[in-house]
Amino acid sequence: MDGIPVLKVEGDTLPQVWEKAVILCWKEGVPVRTEYDRPDDPPSRDSTMIMVVSNPMREPRIHRAIPAGLEDLEIYRLEVVNGIHDHWIVPEEGKWQYTYHERLFAYKVAQKSFDQIDHIVEKLTQRPYTRRAQALTWKVWQDPFTDDPPCLQRLWFRILDDKLILNAHMRSNDAYKAAFMNMFAFTDLQRSIAERVGQRTGRKVEVGQYVHIADSFHIYGAYFDQFKGFLKTVEERPFEERVWTTQFAEPFFEEARRKAELTSYTGQKPAREE
């Protein structure tokens, strides 16, 4: 075919849909070189991917094959939803340029700061059917000129039948090493916003459909051998042995939260999303 393949997968839970998506990208993605390739790396497998998860909070919620560990998964969730790494944003010292939490909850223009999430909660409280409940991350005057611009571009919300729908738009997404962590954190933010809207309206708002849209959803040639190990696991183990519930993961999550509180967690980002 001409151009990049546009692929779509659907399913009930996060690990089910993510697993389908990475396998489909492997099978039908086209070879494309990247800005991160070493001379001997084969081209990545690349596609445009649409992932539709009908019940994103349903268990089991975690895929065992994600390259990062459970503690890193929880730390990333806390980074996106709670902003535990916002204090690392010190670009003048060569540190981070942004976090998703900072862009969503404190988007800065000149001397002003905008809490886009609070605006979304208020908009959905007043008009649950609105098409304007969205948050952006991109800063056109800044991000095109940095080495690590945001991969997440936009979050779009709507309420239908007292269920909060979320569409997450990524310009670029490392399918194997980052996408699941993104999906896990974004759906927890979806849960948090549903709760806040429910508190303001006095009505129960549940978490509804989650759609993850990636313009470039790719598997890097640099880790093809590692990814083939994942494919072997999928072939040899039943699905129930490829997933974990959040109940199983909770002791690891609690340890991650303890470390974050005691040491401010000095680890690095678990994966390049791009």
d(CA 274, CA 173): 5
- Name the phi and psi angles at 227, rounded to 5: -65, -35
- Whole-structure pTM value: 0.95
Determine the pLDDT at residue 249.
98
Q: Residues 45-68: pLDDT tens digits?
A: 999 999 999 999 999 999 999 999
d(CA 91, CA 274): 20
209 is written with which tokens? 């459909």
Mean pLDDT of the chain: 94
- Name the phi and psi angles at 141, rounded to 5: -85, -5
35 is written with which tokens? 């800005």
d(CA 167, CA 208): 11
Determine the pLDDT at residue 54.
98
Over range 73-97, report the average pLDDT.
95
Q: Is the pLDDT of residue 14 over 70?
A: yes
Contact 177, 146 (CB under 8 A): no
Coil, helix or strand at residue 7: strand
∠ CA 35-44-140 to the nearest 5 degrees?
A: 40
Determine the pLDDT at residue 1.
60
Over range 267-271, report the average pLDDT.
45
d(CA 132, CA 121): 11
78 is written with which tokens? 């806390």
Q: Residues 106-118: pLDDT tens digits?
A: 999 999 999 999 9
Determine the pLDDT at residue 264.
52
Determine the pLDDT at residue 94.
86
d(CA 23, CA 234): 10
Start-to-end CA span in the chain (Å): 24
Over range 95-99, report the average pLDDT.
94
Determine the pLDDT at residue 265.
45
Q: What sign has the CA pseudo-torsion 22, 25, 27, 32?
A: negative
Contact 178, 217 (CB under 8 A): no
Over range 79-97, report the average pLDDT.
94
Over range 11-21, report the average pLDDT.
98
Over range 80-105, report the average pLDDT.
95
Identify the H or E element spanning 232. helix 224-236
Confidence of residue 2 (pLDDT cuts 50, 70, 90): confident
Determine the pLDDT at residue 261.
85
d(CA 22, CA 12): 16
- Angle 246-263/70-81 helices, nearest 10 degrees? 70
CA 197 to chain centre: 22
Q: Residues 214-265: pLDDT tens digits?
A: 999 999 999 999 999 999 999 999 999 999 999 999 999 999 999 998 755 4
204 is written with which tokens? 């129960």
Determine the pLDDT at residue 167.
99
Identify the H or E element spanning 96. none
Identify the H or E element spanning 44. strand 44-53
**Domain over 6-263 is classified CATH 3.30.572.10:** yes
- The residues spanned by each domain of the chain are 6-263
